[in-house]
């Protein structure tokens, strides 16, 4: 059964995004697939049922282009009811040897994994908010379990970028609730290590066979698809994240704290806010 009518998948040229795009298309969701590598987008067309995927090229780190991308996208696809932000990069840095840290690479990683997501969300929210007045809409963000517990010590900025994304998503979701968009569902996905190009030798040259690290992509994609279909409220966790988001787990408890404390803080702040 189709999960959505039409889904945008950003970062659909390899790995999780490509596999999810194909799975969605095979199950009846039209997909708009986005990435930088045009030849990969063209190849994707042949991996899915005819006519189920259309493509757009975008470098998400080209921040000034995001508003016009969003305008062109929503004009061409006004029925887009799901947006999957998935693109990402992962880089190793050794702050034990600070002279080896390339801050330009670090900045680009942060921009790719965090700032560009905020730009995309800002540009695409008006469409989702408007559509959610008449039907269920979905903003799905592919995060990382390393954003909750930074246990991969070699990738400090990656872990931090995902932690920033997680914090942003938590307040973004609450602001949609506060603004009355009850049918706009914001879902954060916490994958385990998955066998993709993210940690292959091309992207992380100090790893050998890194693309065979973690869960097989097909098994991950099937589980992701099943869990998205089960109407999750906040999170999809696969692998180590499952224990963190389960009742009593670290992230479960943090969300409970957030629920109560954000109300208390809002009340405490109210007398300091200028009347509109
Ligand atoms: N694999 C894992 O172990 C793992 C674990 C936890 C979380 N994740 C997350 O899962 C998501 C997908 O990663 P993956 O494992 O599937 O890696 P992947 O195979 O390397 O795919 C990354 C995707 O991101 C796109 N991308 C990167 N930079 C971009 C840019 N500037 N503009 C547009 N698209 C860009 C790539 O497309 P182009 O290069 O064609 O632009 C590609 O489609 C990421 O957010 C990653 O952090 C992965």
Domain boundaries, the chain: 6-246
Beta bridge partners of 215: 194
Which tens digit of pLDDT belongs to each residue from 32-72?
999 999 999 999 999 999 999 999 999 999 999 999 999 99
At 1, is the pLDDT very low, low, confident or very high (cuts 50, 70, 90)? confident
Q: Closest ligand 1 atom to the C-alpha of 11?
A: 43
**Residue among 84, 87, 217 whose CB has most ligand 1 atoms within 8 A, to mutate:** 87
Averaged over 76-104, what is the pLDDT? Answer: 98
Measured in Å, residue 210 CA sits from the centre of ligand 1 at 14
Return the CA Rg of the chain: 19
Furthest CA-CA distance within the chain = 59
Which tens digit of pLDDT belongs to each residue from 191-212?
999 999 999 999 989 999 999 9
pTM above 0.85, yes or no: yes
Measured in Å, residue 263 CA sits from the centre of ligand 1 at 35
Question: Whats the size of the chain, residue-wise?
Answer: 276
How much is the mean pLDDT over the chain? 97
Q: Is 194 exposed, middle or buried (0-12, 13-18, 19+ CB in 10 A)?
A: buried
Q: Which CATH architecture has domain 6-246?
A: 3-Layer(aba) Sandwich (3.40)
- What is the rounded distance in angstroms from the CA atom of residue 71 to the CA atom of residue 6? 16
Q: Closest ligand 1 atom to the C-alpha of 113?
A: 45
Beta bridge partners of 138: 82, 185
Nearest Cα to 235, choosing from 226, 246, 219?
Answer: 246
Residue owning the nearest CA to atom 43 of ligand 1? 11
| Sheet with 30-35: strands ordered across | 53-57, 30-35, 6-10, 82-85, 137-142, 184-190, 235-237
- What is the rounded distance in angstroms from the CA atom of residue 273 to the CA atom of residue 197? 48
Averaged over 17-36, what is the pLDDT? Answer: 98
How far separated are the first and last CA of the chain, in Å rounded? Answer: 47
CA dist 258 → 120, 166, 167, 253, 261 (Å): 25, 13, 11, 9, 5
The pLDDT score that the predictor gives to residue 25 is 98
The pLDDT score that the predictor gives to residue 275 is 86
């Amino acid at each position: 059964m189709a999960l959505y009518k039409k889904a945008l998948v950003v970062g659909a040229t390899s790995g999780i995004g490509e596999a999810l795009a194909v799975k969605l298309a095979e199950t009846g969701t039209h997909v708009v697939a986005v990435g930088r590598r045009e030849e990969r987008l063209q190849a994707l067309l042949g991996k899915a049922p005819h006519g189920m995927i259309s493509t757009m090229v975008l470098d998400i780190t080209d921040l000034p282009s995001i508003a016009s991308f969003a305008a062109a996208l929503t004009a061409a696809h006004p029925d887009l009811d799901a947006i999957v932000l998935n693109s990402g990069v992962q880089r190793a840095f050794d702050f034990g040897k600070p002279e080896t840290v390339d801050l330009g690479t670090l900045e680009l990683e942060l921009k790719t994994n965090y700032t560009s997501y905020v730009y995309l969300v800002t540009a695409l929210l008006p469409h989702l908010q408007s559509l959610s007045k008449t039907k269920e809409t979905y903003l799905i963000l592919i995060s990382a379990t390393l954003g909750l517990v930074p246990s991969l010590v070699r990738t400090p900025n990656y872990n931090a970028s995902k932690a920033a994304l997680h914090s942003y998503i938590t307040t973004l979701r609450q602001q949609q609730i506060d603004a009355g968009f009850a049918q706009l569902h914001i879902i954060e996905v916490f994958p385990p290590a998955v066998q993709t190009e993210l940690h292959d030798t091309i992207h992380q040259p100090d790893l050998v066979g890194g693309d065979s690290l973690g869960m097989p992509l097909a098994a991950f994609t099937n589980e992701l698809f099943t869990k998205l279909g089960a109407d999750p409220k906040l999170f999809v966790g696969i692998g180590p994240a499952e224990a963190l988001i389960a009742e009593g787990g670290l992230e479960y408890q943090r969300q409970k704290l957030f629920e109560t404390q954000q109300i208390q803080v809002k009340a405490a702040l109210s007398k300091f806010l200028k009347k509109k």
